[in-house]
Structure 1
Amino acid sequence: MIYSNIIHKQSNKQIHCLWVINIRINFKDTVYLLTGWLTLFVIGTDLFVMSPLLPFIAEEYEITPAVAGWLVTAFSLMYAISAPLFGWLSDRKGRRLFIVLGLFSFSLSNFLTAVSPSFAMLITSRILAGLSVASITPIVYAIIGDTALPERRGVWLSTVVSGHLMALWAGAPVGTLLEQFLGWRSVFISLAIIAAILSIINFRVWASINKVHPGEAQRKGNTIKIISAVSVTTFWAIAMYALYVFLGTGLVLYNDFSSSELAASITAYGIGAVIGSLSSGRVTDKIGARIVSIFSTAMLIGILVLLGFFFSSGTLVYFLLFLWALIGYTSFTSYQARLAEEFPETRGMALALNNTALYIGITLGSMLGGYIIANWGFFALPFICSGVALISSLISTKRRG
């Protein structure tokens, strides 16, 4: 009887210890995810808030909107060029260093944006911002991929991606509202302060995670293979953004949307993007990143065709925009999880190149969209984007990892 009581007490102690350990692990996981989510939300807000602020910036510096648009171009080009370098370095030197330094320089660049006395200095500050973000965004994806258990990687990546997408319909509108009360410079002062705080938080949170792959493992990484893999994202981005860039124009001209209706349609798109990103993680972890990425990209072909046929259908377009973003960002998020799974030794490089491919696709998409509208009209655009999505789907299906 005494022996039985001792065994029972030992068993209870073991259960209690396991319970405490489980709570600590869950708390730590929550901190990792929340840190990654907040970091990408702030980065996304900086990216998406620039568009609605451009008219105010152009007015203050007495330049045309087209010239002001170079602020976005300079940012994007610097990001696309430098992201692979930081991804490569993070695979060798560790992720934490570059995330923290990136957030510190991002804070500085936003402060310079806020106090720039000339347009030349403003452009310089956005170049620094693009360089900074290149050392943050893909490396946050990589460190989350390093940290998550294989069976939870899809959920973790989809969660932090949702932070970036949330900025599209939450962060940017808040920034625009702040401009109305305190001026556009206040937006960048706020971002600078928040980024400085986040640099300290990231320094503390990732202190125990500084994964560096040995040189032998690095040599196994095939750069050509990675470039081939991320071409899927380039064609995906062309298919999505060739239409998205001119979405407002199409809705106003061919659906006679008012400003409030236009805002509601973009909100429907943004909500679809966030839900698609979050839900894809759980599905990916259950049935596999490859299957989800292939299936969702194939569905993207169909939804773009539907948009082409029913774009002028009035209120139905809200649902179609929601569905388009839901499917599109399920495809993007699941493919990121697939890359993280297929290139474990060079995860930083693979995800950085994937982000470069994304920006290249966005740039090419905006150029293609303008050309198509000028030569064949707006209604040809969804169908051509569907054809580009087909190319992305074929490459994704053919790839074996």
Structure 2
Amino acid sequence: MSRARAPGPGRAGAAGLSVPLVVLAWLTQFLVGTDLFVVAPLLPDIARSLHVSASSTGLLITAFSIAYVVASPFAGWLADHRDRATILVWALVLFSVANVATAVAPNFALLLLTRVVAGVAAAATGPTVYALVSTRARPQARAQVLAVVGSGLLTALWVGAPAGAVLGQHLGWQAAFLILAAGTFLLAFPHAVVWRSRAVAPAPPRTPARTPARGSRTATGVAVAGVAVTTLWAFSVYSLYTFLGVALHADGRASDVTWLLVVYGVGAVIGGQLGGRFADRTGAVRVTRAALALTAALEVAVALAYPVTWALACTLGLFACAGYAFFPAQQRHLVDAFPERATGMLSWNNSALFVGLSVAGAVGGQIVDAFGYPVLLYVAAALCVPAVLVAGGRPARLGANPTAEEVRS
């Protein structure tokens, strides 16, 4: 067994990862996230360019999401049974090719196909990055590292996508995808090298299994519960986000959309960092349950504050902070519970996120049209309650020396 090297100059000390390595992972998530989120503001330009209706272009987002959900579990399984770094490099290359094909697609049918390929590549990229950094980070800083890397995706939400939209307005929507293709292709080269030169942080010694502790579950039960909880969380969080701009436009507050989304984005980044830090210190399961409970309470607060813009801004920032504290803690919980299947579990977790996001988009619009935006928030808040009740748990077979996470949960 190889020994983990002691932190040296330029390394992230307690985290067990160098700062450049974390930055590389962050940039990867930022570019892949920008590719996901930039499509929405570019849809009108794409529709005009390819002479299709604006409603038809929405299929580009749907195709990407469905491809991601379907491909992610298989990509995670493949990464767990092959070299993760190799899978990541080839996924980035495929992602670059898909974006070049997106930029040069001569018609809408081919464009739709390129987004399917991009979704498959993204499914093999995000969870593999998370698994690589989590399994190489020191256990006491695992959730913090996941939160930092995950903030790249959140930053894409409120920085990368608007920047891509501005670029599209001045240089054409194709330019945004060509730049993203170049960026992800260049990142493939350092990824091909750095993960092979890093020793994995040592895992706790394996010992014979003992009788399951009270409250423990089968491995399948923990996996299913984790996927279900993430789906409910994603519906609650993204139903609010997806239809906020639509509701504000309908109420004559279109000028407030941009800065309120910035408040939301900043709150999400802060929440992710806090969630990761507290998960490492107090236990991932405690943080997931607390974050879900706060998400439900604050979503009700957003619904009540919605008519008053300044109150909406305050509650919106707090909601995003609480809501996004959940995700790095959930990731750490799954990695701790299934260390040998980390990529697979994180892939299922990301698929669950996309399922919740897709259902929120499909069902949320119907609720808003029929009953109004605040009612959607009440429904989403109610779905967090069962998520709190089933969150956490661990596989029944535990070693004689349980980890800190097992003790805390």
Which residue identity lines up with residue 73 of structure 1 in the other structure? T
Which whole-Å CA distance do the structure 2 matches of 1:243 and 1:141 have between them? 26
Quick check: 1:324 aligned with 2:322?
no
Q: CA deviation at 1:53?
A: 0.3
Per the alignment, residue 5 of structure 1 pairs with none
Matched, 1:269 2:269: no
Alpha-carbon distance between aligned partners in 2 of 1:90 and 1:369, rounded to the nearest angstrom = 34
CA distance in 1, matches of 2:310, 2:240: 19
Matched residue, 2:123? 134
Does 2:250 correspond to 1:253?
yes
The structural deviation recorded for 1:376 is 2.4
CA distance in 2, matches of 1:32, 1:227: 32
User: Which residue of structure 1 aligns with residue 357 of structure 2?
Assistant: 362
Partner of 2:366: 371
Q: Is the 8 A contact 1:95 1:210 kept in 2?
A: no
| Partner secondary structure for residue 25 of structure 2 | helix
Describe the superposition over 1:293-340 as per-residue Cα deviations: whole angstroms up to 9, x where unpaired. Answer: 111111111001111111111221111111111110001221111111
Q: Cα offset for 1:195?
A: 0.8
State the match for 2:296 in structure 1.
Answer: 301
| Residue number in structure 1 paired with 2:31 | 42
1:333 and 2:328 are equivalent in the alignment: yes
Give unpaired runs (5+ residues) of structure 1. Answer: 1-19, 212-216
Residue in structure 2 matching 1:31, options 12, 16, 20? 20
1:209 CA drift (Å)? 5.1
Q: Tell me which residue corresponds to 2:405.
A: none
The equivalent of 1:188 in structure 2 is: 177
Following superposition, the deviation at residue 371 of structure 1 comes to: 2.3
Distance 2:295 2:221 in 1: 27
Q: Which runs of 5+ in 2 are unaligned?
A: 1-5, 201-205, 210-217, 396-409
Is the 1:157–1:333 Cα contact (8 Å) retained in structure 2? yes
Amino acid at match of 1:162: S
User: Do the aligned partners of 1:238 and 1:365 also contact (CA within 8 Å) in 2?
Assistant: yes
* Counterpart-to-counterpart distance in 2, 1:108 and 1:367: 30
Pick the aligned partner of 1:240 from 234, 237, 257.
237
Counterpart position of 2:391: 396
Aligned match of 2:166 in 151, 174, 177?
177
Measure the CA separation in 1 of the matches of 2:128 and 2:260: 32
How far is 1:383 from its partner?
0.8
Per-residue CA distance 1:233-257 (angstroms, 9 max, x = gap) = 0000111122221111112223x31
1:3 maps to which residue? none
Q: CA deviation at 1:267?
A: 0.6
Aligned residue number for residue 98 of structure 2:
109
Number of the residue aligned with 1:61: 50
Which residue of the partner structure matches residue 195 of structure 2?
Answer: 206
Give the superposition deviation at 1:271.
Answer: 0.6
Give SS of 1:292's match.
helix
The answer on whether the counterparts of 2:222 and 2:394 sit within 8 Å (CA) in structure 1 is: no
- Please tell me whether residue 290 in structure 1 is matched to residue 279 in structure 2: no
Post-superposition CA distance 1:76-106 (Å, at most 9, x none): 0000001000111111112101110000000
In structure 2, what residue type is equivalent to 1:136? T
Match of 2:134 among 130, 145, 156: 145
Rg comparison, structure with higher value: 1
Instruction: Tell me if structure 2 keeps the 8 A contact 1:94–1:210.
Output: no
Give the distance between the partners of 2:376 and 2:140, measured in 1 at CA. 39
Letter in 1 for 2:67: M
1:104–1:196 Cα contact (<8 Å) kept: yes
After superposition, what is the alpha-carbon deviation per residue over 1:119-164, rounded to whole angstroms, capped at 9, x for unaligned? 1111111011001001100111111111101001011000000011
The answer to which of 333-342 and 231-240 deviates more is 333-342
For 1:112, the aligned partner's letter is A
d(CA) in 2 for partners of 1:175 and 1:386?
32
CA–CA separation in structure 2 for the residues paired with 1:24 and 1:269: 33
Q: Which deviates further from its counterpart, 30-39 or 388-397?
A: 388-397
- Could you tell me how far apart the structure 2 residues matched to 1:193 and 1:25 are? 28
Q: Does residue 8 of structure 2 align to residue 22 of structure 1?
A: yes
The match for 2:225 is 228
In 2, the alpha carbon distance for the partners of 1:244 and 1:294 equals 21
1:360-396 Cα deviation digits (max 9, x unpaired): 1111111221221233232211111110111211111
Question: In the aligned structure 2, how far is the partner of 1:71 from the partner of 1:210?
Answer: 40
**TM-score, with length taken from structure 1:** 0.89
* RMSD of aligned residue pairs (Cα, Å): 2.0
How far apart in 2 are the matches of 1:373 and 1:174? 29
**d(CA) in 1 for partners of 2:371 and 2:157?**
30
Q: Give the alignment partner of residue 381 of structure 2, picking from 382, 386, 397.
A: 386
Structure 1: distance between partners of 2:148 and 2:309: 33
Structure 2 residue identity aligned to 1:22: G
Contact 2:29 2:126 in 1 (8 A): yes
**Which of 69, 72, 76 pairs up with 1:87?**
76
> 2: CA distance between counterparts of 1:153 and 1:98?
22
Partners of 2:226 and 2:261 lie apart in 1 by 30
Partner secondary structure for residue 315 of structure 1: helix
Q: Distance in 1 between matches of 2:325 and 2:354?
A: 18
Equivalences, count: 373
